[in-house]
Amino acid sequence: MPRRIVHRFLRSHMARVFLASCVCLLVLTGFPTLSSADDIRIATWNVHEGMSVEKLAARADDLKSMAAAVKPDVLLVQEVTSLAVVEAVRDLMGLKGYYCACSDFNPGDQPDFAFFEVGIISRWPLDQVIEYDTTPDNADKPGAPDELPINPLLKLGIRKPPEDVRGFLWARIDQLKLTTAVVHLKSSRGAPSGPEDRMNATKREFVAGAMAAGVVEDRLVWPSYSCILGGDLNVGHSDLSKNGSRLDVDYDNAAPGQDGYDDTHAIFRGGVVYGLKMLNLVGHLREPTFPAFPSTPIDNLYVSGPGEKSFSPATIINDTFGSDHRPVVTVYRTQVLPAVAKPAPAAQPMPRPVLAPKGVIPAAEARKYVEQTGSVEFVVADGMLLSDGRFCFLNSSKDRTRLESFTAVLPAETIKLFAARGIADPAKHYFKKKIRVTGRIHLRRDACQIVVEKPEQIELVAGN
């Protein structure tokens, strides 16, 4: 065809109509676009007294119903006591293949309110996990999260409370270009103007300040990532009897009616921490998430970052599913990035089960008899009674990361039983002495140990 005829056709109206029709046809028939978006459901839920795997198993139907109603892709949970409990929540919900992380604020996993942790359950790998703790103690615990201390923001007027408080758990999910943190702030007890809740407010502000500073840091380190914080904040976002807005006007020096005594929400949304103003996805809601507590929602989701507007306003699921809290869920519309392939570990043959001997087990061999009851014998090479009396550790080695190392763990109640027998500090009492510890041998974050529940489980070996 002569070139001048082709040029004449391309300039014609018919050519323009023809090209436009081709474009429409390609779109309508599913021509691949440069990017596609997915609806990622992110929820926070206070499980309520997730003390043990056994207790959760009794709530299996509720957990299945919760998963069916919420359909979580990422779930932030509170009131769990161990990674095993978080994994049980995942499994009972039917979230097969999801990844789990759990905080480790307390060295033991006892079924008690004092041992509450927080956890993250995610459809996608958690590429980095950090626990922020007021008393870091994970250094010698294989498998425990990396840990950073919570530092007071003194320049902003946020001081460390005199009593220990729970920290928070942070994770990075690269496939979503997202950082997330989950928290269970100090409970809101006592009359609104009472000194008990005012002290609790300082504890909430202390942890909230660290979380807000962490978001500012995330935005600097990963500027293309969005950030979402969630959990049980234990104060409503529009609780006029408590909410304050100024860190420099606290309950100690505020004139009546001038400013509330709890600045938790102001720390996230008010710009008082390095100018950070997060969006509260629950801010438009007024019904309680904790039905027994007459307040605006105390379970909240805050977001910041370039994808902030891609999060839907949160909804409260109108069921507690056996908890005392209702779940809160948002939908994050974003593109899921392909997973980065990681080399698979070499397959290892399954070891044959070994029965624990009726006699004594050397500490270096205790790992062979996990989940069996036996008597482990060792010289106490190192030990420590925590300053707050929560735990005492008797170690067979100064280096607890060694596979041959073994630990006898004494919880607070056991320490009291020893004290009643005149042994105030078991770590000092047994130091450099050979002992025999009888009980169920188990691994906790790859550390081999027996939890001692009564003094009779520890015997001094003749010859000391």
SS3 204: helix
Task: Count H helices and E strands in the chain, helices first.
Answer: 9, 21
Cα dihedral across residues 107, 108, 114, 115: positive or negative: positive
Does 414 map to a domain? yes
Q: How far apart are CA 235 and CA 263, in angstroms?
A: 10
Instruction: Say if residues 233 and 204 touch (Cβ distance below 8 Å).
Output: yes
Instruction: Say if residues 80 and 118 touch (Cβ distance below 8 Å).
Output: yes
Task: Examine the domain organization and report whether 397 and 323 are in the same domain.
Answer: no
- Each residue's pLDDT, cut to its tens digit, for the chain (464 residues) gives 444 444 444 445 444 444 444 434 333 333 333 346 899 999 999 999 898 899 999 999 999 999 999 999 999 999 998 899 999 999 999 999 999 999 988 765 555 555 689 999 999 999 999 999 987 776 556 667 888 999 899 999 898 888 878 899 999 999 999 999 999 999 876 455 567 788 889 999 999 999 999 999 999 999 999 999 999 999 999 987 788 888 887 654 445 567 888 999 999 999 999 999 999 999 999 999 999 877 889 999 999 999 999 999 999 999 999 999 999 999 999 999 998 766 555 555 545 556 666 789 999 999 888 888 999 999 999 998 987 788 899 999 987 767 889 999 999 899 999 999 999 999 999 999 999 999 999 887 667 899 999 999 999 998 76
State both tokens at 52.
């043990």
Q: How far apart are CA 385 and CA 377, in angstroms?
A: 20
7-41 burial: b if 16+ Cβ within 10 Å, else e:
eeeeeeeeeeeeeeeeeeeeeeeeeeeeeeeeebb
Task: Examine the domain organization and report whether 396 and 287 are in the same domain.
Answer: no
Task: Examine the domain organization and report whether 275 and 382 are in the same domain.
Answer: no
**Predicted TM-score (pTM) of this structure:** 0.68
Does 8 map to a domain? no
Task: Examine the domain organization and report whether 328 and 398 are in the same domain.
Answer: no
What is the chain's length? 464
Task: Examine the domain organization and report whether 297 and 164 are in the same domain.
Answer: yes
Find how far residue 94's CA is from the centre of its chain: 20
Q: How far apart are CA 178 and CA 223, in angstroms?
A: 10
Write the CA distances from 283 to 6, 62, 70, 184, integer angstroms: 61, 28, 20, 19
Query: What is the domain count for the chain?
Result: 2
Task: Examine the domain organization and report whether 282 and 366 are in the same domain.
Answer: no
Write the CA distances from 423 to 95, 174, 375, 431, integer angstroms: 47, 50, 22, 12
Which residue type, as a one-letter code, is found at position 247?
L
Which residue type, as a one-letter code, is found at position 42?
I
Q: How far apart are CA 291 and CA 272, in angstroms?
A: 30
Task: Examine the domain organization and report whether 42 and 164 are in the same domain.
Answer: yes
Instruction: State the CATH number of the domain containing residue 407.
Output: 2.40.50.140
User: Exposed (0-12), middle (13-18) or buried (19+): which is 399, by Cβ within 10 Å?
Assistant: exposed
Does 139 map to a domain? yes
Choose among 99, 98, 102: nearest CA to 119.
102
Instruction: Say if residues 440 and 450 touch (Cβ distance below 8 Å).
Output: yes
Task: Examine the domain organization and report whether 110 and 254 are in the same domain.
Answer: yes
Does 342 map to a domain? no
Residue 287's pLDDT is what?
93
Task: Examine the domain organization and report whether 307 and 370 are in the same domain.
Answer: no
Residue where a domain terminates, one of 276, 300, 334 = 334
Instruction: State the CATH number of the domain containing residue 66.
Output: 3.60.10.10
Task: Examine the domain organization and report whether 91 and 233 are in the same domain.
Answer: yes
Choose among 268, 278, 275, 273: nearest CA to 185.
268
Choose among 436, 440, 378: nearest CA to 405.
378
Tokens 């996993």, residue located: 109
Does 23 map to a domain? no
Residue where a domain terminates, one of 318, 334, 350 = 334
Task: Examine the domain organization and report whether 300 and 366 are in the same domain.
Answer: no
Neighbours of 331 (CB within 10 A): 19
Task: Examine the domain organization and report whether 74 and 168 are in the same domain.
Answer: yes
Residue 390's pLDDT is what?
81
Does 267 map to a domain? yes
Residue 264's pLDDT is what?
95
State both tokens at 50.
């997730």
Residue 140's pLDDT is what?
58
Which residue range(s) make up the domain with 432? 360-460
State both tokens at 55.
């207790």
Does 7 map to a domain? no
Does 14 map to a domain? no
